Amino acid sequence: MITCFVLIVLCLIIYIMTRHKPVHLIDYACYHPPAHLQAPTQYYLERAKALGNLDESSFEFQRKILERSGLGEETHLPKALHCIPSQASMVTAREETEQVMFGALDNLFYSTNVNPQDIGVLVVNCTLFDPTPSLSAMIVHKYKLRSDIKSFNLGGMGCSSGVIAVDLAKNLLQFHRNTYAVVMSTENVTLSTYSGDNKSMMITNCMFRVGGAAILLSNKYVDRHRAKYKLVHIVRTHRGLDDKSFKCIYQEQDETGIVGVSLGLKINITTLGPLVLPIKEQLHFFITMVVKKLFRKSKMKMYIPDFKLAFDHFCIHAGGRGVIDELEKSLQLSSVHVEASRMTLQRFGNTSSSSIWYELAYIESKGRMHKDDRVWQIAFGSGFKCNSAAWVALKNVKPAS
């Protein structure tokens, strides 16, 4: 009898220690640059020409790119790129990143009333700027975070690295109990400007703009009542084994990029589908996939599941108008489903990994987020990576005043 009781207690302890701990999103904050850093199209072109980097052909190329890009007249460039000559340097790059990170984090800590000393996990992702001390060290120093904090700095992982950072934070929260995790997603524009004459590389100059987002996650039981969202799934797809995918950075050329998006999306939804789709959609998708595998010469088209049955809101990385168009077509979405992505691209430009958070903020600002609504954040990056995060709203989210 005693042995049986001991075994039951032991099993309960093992279950409690090994069970998956829910991860909740308490809140997030997107950085809004000051108005004096706005760079309307004509202003940008005049600055680019004044810097002496553009011949007439390159000038006309960038003008056409901007006209078709989907960017509006209120996107922002860092202070260093408003100067003639440009003052791009390690110092000004650090200043840009500090303004973005600290601006977002100040707002996050204020809105959540969380003491920075209570943060147990910190993950920062920034693809193109990797100084020493690291960006995560800059945050630890600024906010005097505790000495045993688990901090990580992700670099070189592209526009989808924000989802990767959330995944890393989620995994760390499975092992570190009763704590908060902060994810800081940003990109540095000051030192990522291309000054050569390769037209495909000029596209990054036209598209990338200042931005960043800070996200607060928690595994604390008491936080489930005030959290906005619960993390349901993260699916990561990496096509780095394939040469074409590895060399594909979709900001370079629309044609190459769309191929990369299509390849990454196909594999990602194959993994995500069984986790979120209704049984009927899963069966339909599975049958067509089996037929295509067994009968390679079959003319049956690959069935694209109706993800509108699984999600209410879509946050598609605002990498460019072509990327959004492709996802709208591939997933058979309506204009309303991609509205957040298009409006984010227009208002803020391509802010890299943080764009999916500006999109979520747009949906909330329209009063469209209701309790039990399901959200799909999907991002693409060089390599080629396609990463998805699925969330469920825990409350009706009121538009910020």
The per-residue DSSP string of 83-147 comes to SSS---SHHHHHHHHHHHHHHHHHHHHHHHT--GGGEEEEEEE-SS---SS-HHHHHHHHHT--T
- Is there a domain that residue 6 lies in? no
Is position 5 within any domain? Answer: no
Task: Name the pLDDT band for 246 (thresholds 50, 70, 90).
Answer: low
Give the mean model confidence (pLDDT) for residues 21-27. Answer: 96
52 and 113 assigned to the same domain = yes
Residue 78 in tokens = 């860092």
Token readout for 118 is 């209570």
Q: Indicate the residue among 225, 254, 272 that finishes a domain.
A: 225
- Cα–Cα distance measured from residue 225 to residue 375, given in angstroms and rounded to the nearest whole number: 19
Output the pLDDT for position 4: 60
401 within some domain: no
Residue 40: burial class (beta carbons within 10 Å; 0-12, 13-18, 19+): middle
Burial state string for 170-179 with b = 16 or more CB within 10 A and e = fewer than 16 = bebbeeeeeb
Give 119's strand partners: 180
Helix (H, G, I), strand (E, B) or coil at 52: coil
Give yes or no: residues 256 and 196 share one domain.
Answer: no
Task: Supply the angle between the helices 339-348 and 321-330 in degrees, to the nearest 10.
Answer: 180
Residue 67 placed within a domain = yes
First vs last C-alpha separation in the chain: 62
Residue 300 has pLDDT above 70, yes or no: no
pLDDT band of 12, cuts 50, 70, 90: low
Whole-number Å distance between alpha carbons of 334 and 95: 40
Please tell me whether residues 140 and 262 are part of one structural domain: no
Residue 60 dihedral angles phi and psi, to the nearest 5°: -65, -35
Cross-strand pairs, 24: 218, 230
Position 110 pLDDT exceeds 80: yes
Is residue 160 domain-shared with residue 250, that is, in the same domain?
A: no
pLDDT of residue 298 exceeding 80: no
Mark whether 203 and 330 lie in a shared domain.
Answer: no
Q: Are residues 138 and 78 in the same domain?
A: yes
pLDDT for res 344: 98
**Of 173, 206, 225, which closes a domain?**
225
- Note if the bond before 305 is cis, omega within 30 degrees: no
**d(C-alpha 201, C-alpha 323), whole Å:** 17
Rank 37-51, 56-70, 338-352 by mean pLDDT and report only the highest: 338-352
Q: How confident is the model at residue 255 (pLDDT cuts 50, 70, 90)?
A: very low
Domain co-membership, 218 together with 234: no
The predicted model gives 144-150 an average pLDDT of 97
Mean pLDDT of all residues belonging to the chain: 86
- The verdict on 193 and 331 lying in the same domain is no
398 belongs to a structural domain: no
CB-side neighbour CA atoms (13 Å) of 270: 13
310 occurs within a structural domain: yes
CA dihedral 152, 265, 337, 300 (to 10 degrees): -160
Average pLDDT over residues 346-351: 97
Choosing from 225, 260, 285, the residue where a domain stops is: 225
- Cα–Cα distance between 251 and 118 in angstroms, integer? 39
Helix axes 56-69, 41-50, angle to 10 degrees: 160
CA angle 338, 345, 42 (to 5 degrees): 145
Containing domain of residue 377, as a range?
229-393
- Both tokens of 11, joined, read 């099993």
- Give the chain's domain count: 2
Does some domain include residue 18? no
Same domain as 66, residue 138: yes
- Is 246 found in the same domain as 305? yes
| Average pLDDT estimate for 27-44 | 97
Instruction: Indicate the helix (H) or strand (E) that contains 10.
Output: helix 2-18
Q: What is the pTM of this model?
A: 0.88
Let me know: does 121 contact 150? Beta carbons within 8 Å: yes
Question: Which tens digit of pLDDT belongs to each residue from 170-193?
Answer: 999 999 999 999 999 999 999 988
The reply to whether 242 and 376 lie within a common domain is: yes
CATH number at 245 reads: 3.40.47.10
From residue 230, alpha-carbon distances to 23, 214, 372 in Å are 6, 17, 10
| Span 321-345, pLDDT tens digits | 988 998 898 889 999 999 999 999 9
- The arithmetic mean of pLDDT across residues 12-24, rounded, is 66
The Cα–Cα gap between 105 and 109 comes to 6
Give the burial class of 159: count Cβ atoms within 10 A of its Cβ; 0-12 exposed, 13-18 middle, 19 or more buried.
buried
Burial tier of 10 (Cβ tally within 10 Å: 0-12, 13-18, 19+): exposed
Residue 181 lies in a domain: yes
- For the cut 60, the answer to whether the pLDDT of residue 195 exceeds it is yes
> Residue 268: its pLDDT value, please?
73
Residues 53 and 66 in one domain: yes
Can you list the alpha helix ranges (DSSP code H) found in 153-237?
A: 161-173, 199-207
Q: 376: helix, coil or strand?
A: strand
